[in-house]
A = this chain, B = another copy of it.
Amino acid sequence: MKNYFVAKSRRLRSTPYTSRIENQGVTAYSVYNHMLLPAAFGSLEDSYHHLKKHVQVWDVAGERQVEISGKDSAKLVQLMTCRDLSKSKVGRCYYCPIIDDRAGLINDPVILKLREDRWWVSIADSDVILFAKGLAIGNSFDVKIFEPNVNILAVQGPKSFKLMEIIFGKKIVEMKFFGFDYFEFAGAKHLIARSGWSKQGGYEIYVENIESGLALYDKLFEVGKEFNVKPGCPNLIERIESALLSYGNDMDNNDNPLECGLDKYVNLDTEVNFLGKEKLKEVRNKGIARKLMGVIIESKEINVAKSINLTNDKNLKIGELRSGVYSPHFKKVIGIAMLDKPYYEISQTFKISINGDVFEGKVCDLPFI
């Protein structure tokens, strides 16, 4: 596959860390919430092995925050998500599908409850702020909505705990998964959550004070030497093996959360009021017509730049591959695909054409590992 350059401009916003990661060897970018998101530091596979063994620091500033505060903030946040937040607690993170009135997915953020009347919606790649503003204006809600200048640094990998303990002390290791608290560094308080877009463990540092954040960035690499720290970024192999769904890749506004296997975060039998609730009840009653599944393909290579059709023996389309990558663990291509009913059964076989060659594949459960 030929490579193409990214044309930089102010519209594809740089992050406070851009000059650092460029000095450290970033080779490719994606664009996420109108911001540069590092996508490779050389070999994807080397980075994958390193992430699973050591510790990496990621510039994920593209994971922007939508801050919603004020008297009606809890009402607005609940209106946007099908997850019941009525018992949510300050100091916790919540993975929340955001859907519209037709139950189509708009985003799948992690929502942080900062106070009873102040929330950060830590978004995937779509302008949730515009949806929130539209709803707030239309409903005359008493809220303030804006994008604070928060630039997340993720520290990921099994050695992230030791590294962070040296800098922030024992308290940070005792924090539970999806909890967050405030930690001081170089004269500033940073919100740090035990979270991140890998299953290798770690933290996300919600940097508000850029000067302190840059000092922290450098400190992580200085202290991290003994843990073989490297710059990194969300890794396509690791995230597919772990079935971390990617909004825009694996699912979009044409999909509902039940089709995407997000049933756990769809609380229909509750008193809370959210958009798309009736529509989702309909879907549940009728049953879903397709489902996001794992697939394993008998190939050593793939590049998924757009959906690729999956066909059955009769050459009929039975689904589409939306993400895929060669997995060194399985020694095959693995991927995430939307399969039509009744083909979303485990062990369903299919054919897929990659660069003109046809390969065999099989449907499986998520996650892979």
Report A's interface with B, CB cutoff 8 A.
2-14, 22, 26-31, 34, 39-40, 100-101, 106, 125-128, 130-139, 147, 246-249, 253, 275, 303-307, 322-323
Contact = CB atoms under 8 A, between A and B. Distances in A.
A24 to B, nearest CB: 12
A136 B138 contact: yes
B6 A29 contact: yes
A248 B127 CA distance: 13
30 contacts: A2-B22, A3-B6, A4-B8, A4-B26, A5-B40, A6-B6, A6-B31, A7-B28, A7-B30, A9-B249, A9-B304, A10-B305, A11-B30, A11-B247, A12-B30, A13-B306, A34-B125, A34-B126, A100-B133, A101-B133, A101-B137, A127-B127, A127-B131, A130-B131, A131-B131, A132-B134, A134-B138, A136-B138, A138-B139, A147-B253
Contacts of A29: 4-7
Given A11-B125, A134-B132, A6 B34 contact: no
B134 A305 contact: no
A162 B83 CA distance: 58
Given A130-B134, A131-B133, 6 more contacts: A4-B5, A4-B27, A7-B39, A9-B30, A9-B246, A147-B253
Contacts of A323: 9-10
A248 B11 contact: yes
A306 B11 CA distance: 8
